[in-house]
Amino acid sequence: MMTAISFEGVNQTYMTKSGETTALQEIWLDIEEGELIGLVGPSGCGKSTLLSLAAGLLPPTSGTVEVFGQKGTGPSPDCGYMFQQDYLLPWRTILDNVLIGAEITSTVTPALKHRALALLDELGLSGTAHKHPHQLSGGMRQRVALGRTLLTEPRIVLLDEPFSALDYQIKLQLEELIADTLKARRLTGVLVTHDLGEAVAMCDRIVVLRNRPGRIKRVLSVPESLRSLSPLAARETPEFHSLFRTIWGDLQDEY
């Protein structure tokens, strides 16, 4: 198995009008290919900064970030993003929204359109291709956003709280869809979330970050017995509650 993302002694400092903010300090972390990693920690501990560093959107102040063994020199074509908001363009059809990333980086061929339509089917969005975003529910729109990300064939999907604006029921369904889709395609995922239950139910490992400046407090492996269950079924087990309590305890000290 290859290492997908490697953070080696990473420090990140932001310069602001009021001075320097140290967002991350001495981050050492290897994320393996095919793994889904959860990042949890108090607000402002540097979770989104870690995603930006992985995506090559930000050069580290010091230390190195490697993606599949390559030191980044700019936005990485291996990484796709999903955000809390779907950022669909309201004037474009669903199909044209799915095609947009590919449209920017390459040309839209009939084969690509065919793949986009197949993706819509796979994500439970058959029949929506010619609709517009306002005609779809929040959960469906996030599935379109997932399709748009997958169409560019990233090897890594960076998930920045993609479920936090959704109703609980929809959120659980989407958690399952995303976890299954990433696993089926052997993609690597990094999930930033404020919802511990979501991290425990979906991820293979969970990184707990300390309060600012963000440092790694602990990395926990989710037991195989939990990982083999759907995020919904996992929530019913004693292992889920035990891991939830451990992380809860870790985080209590950070607030």
Ligand X SMILES: Nc1ncnc2c1ncn2[C@@H]1O[C@H](COP(=O)(O)OP(=O)(O)OP(=O)(O)O)[C@@H](O)[C@H]1O
Query: Which of 57, 171, 153 is closest to 112 using CA atoms?
Result: 153
Binding flag, residue 48, ligand X (CB under 6 A): yes
Give me 139's structure tokens: 């959960």
Q: Rule CB under 6 A: choose which of 49, 76, 128, 181 binds ligand X.
A: 49
Chain residues 2-41 in contact with ligand X, contact rule CB under 6 A: 14, 16, 21, 23, 41
Task: Tell me the backbone φ, ψ of residue 72, rounded to 5 degrees.
Answer: -70, 150
Q: Select the span of 47-55, 99-107, 114-122, 143-151 touching ligand X (CB under 6 A).
A: 47-55
Chain residues 212-231 in contact with ligand X, contact rule CB under 6 A: 212
CB-based contacts of 242: which residues, under 8 Å, 6+ apart? none
Torsion of CA 50, 55, 61, 65, to 10 degrees: 90
Alpha-carbon span 173 to 1, nearest angstrom: 29
Closer Cβ to ligand X, 16 or 105, answer by number: 16
Query: Which of 234, 253, 232, 233 is closest to 242 using CA atoms?
Result: 234
Task: Tell me the backbone φ, ψ of residue 7, rounded to 5 degrees.
Answer: -100, 120
Q: Select the span of 46-54, 76-84, 199-207, 222-230 touching ligand X (CB under 6 A).
A: 46-54
Binding flag, residue 59, ligand X (CB under 6 A): no
Binding flag, residue 45, ligand X (CB under 6 A): yes
Binding flag, residue 46, ligand X (CB under 6 A): yes
Binding flag, residue 53, ligand X (CB under 6 A): no
Closest distance of CB 185 from ligand X, Å: 26
Q: Binding residues for ligand X, per CB under 6 A?
A: 14, 16, 21, 23, 41, 43-49, 212
